[in-house]
Amino acid sequence: MTAYAILPPDTLLAAAIQHKIDRKTKPLGALGRLEPLARQIALIQQTLEPEIRQPHIVVFAGDHGAARAGVSAFPQDVTWQMVENFLAGGAAINVFTRQMGLGLSVVDAGVNHDFGKRPGLIDAKVAHGTASYIEQPAMTAAQRDAALQSGRELAHALAGNGCNCVGFGEMGIGNTAAASLLTHCLVGAEHDAELYTVTGRGTGLDDPGLYRKRSLLARALQRGGRPRDPLAVLAEYGGFEIAMMAGAMLGAAEKRMIIVIDGFIVTSALLAAHAIAPALLPYCVFAHRSHEPGHRVQLDFLQAEPLIELDLRLGEGTGAALAFPLVQAAVNFVNEMASFEAAGVSDQA
């Protein structure tokens, strides 16, 4: 396993950061969850004056061999068609990143399509989609390791270009099914991560479709078992986009970046990354709670409280983009809001 140089943020500044927050012109705790978010960001950056620089959303795309067996309501071709939509600027994530002033990169981690050189597309293709985990492991150990390393390098490159806040999104027909398998394997039974509990409708399966999806995933588990080692789980059931996201999260934590976590599939990548290097968790900001039932199980396991809940289930990093103004607001109030002393306001009841 690659050794990741991730250290949890030093907490020596915690008291000073809290004092600065508490002396703002407001009652103690009156800004609610923005206050611990501001403290978290200040600790990540080890400063009393945190800042967001060149925030960016990265959307990783990949295909899944199991999609051809019917684990999704949509055909596999939708993956590459949606990548084209991203590149044309027409998807929801394009709309939201434009609105929020966020950078956006699209990564071909393993789409079953040849795009050629395209502006705005990062070619990190490991292969033309994974194998079907119903019949064999989704990827070889070498493919998994290549995806992890590519993700790590992408995060390091973003940091090198001045970005200190990165959000993750994904596109891959069938990837809610892979995320269900990863969640089932990596979350303990005490958190009710049984396959039935964490397998939802994904792109909108009807009742027969959901039954088929659960049956196919049960067949996959009969073949591959329920490994707990994160590397084994990624190879058995993961997608190239999921493994590459996990590597990018680990790489971002190495560079002390704020990591904004989107929904169910992105959080499944985080489960793997967290199992590889638990020290990355304090760098993670959880954007939203997805409508997908398995996401609640993941968040409970990670003891994470997301910033918003809008019943989103689109993916693409849309929840991360929508939560970004709250991340910026947490930084802004720490830096720009007056203290009682500076404003000449009494703090006595």
Residues tagged active-site: 316
Spatial neighbors of 101 by CB under 8 A, at least 6 apart, are: 55
How big is the chain, counted in residues?
349
Phi, psi of 138, deg, nearest 5: -60, -35
Distances (CA, A) of 348 to 133, 204, 338: 64, 55, 16
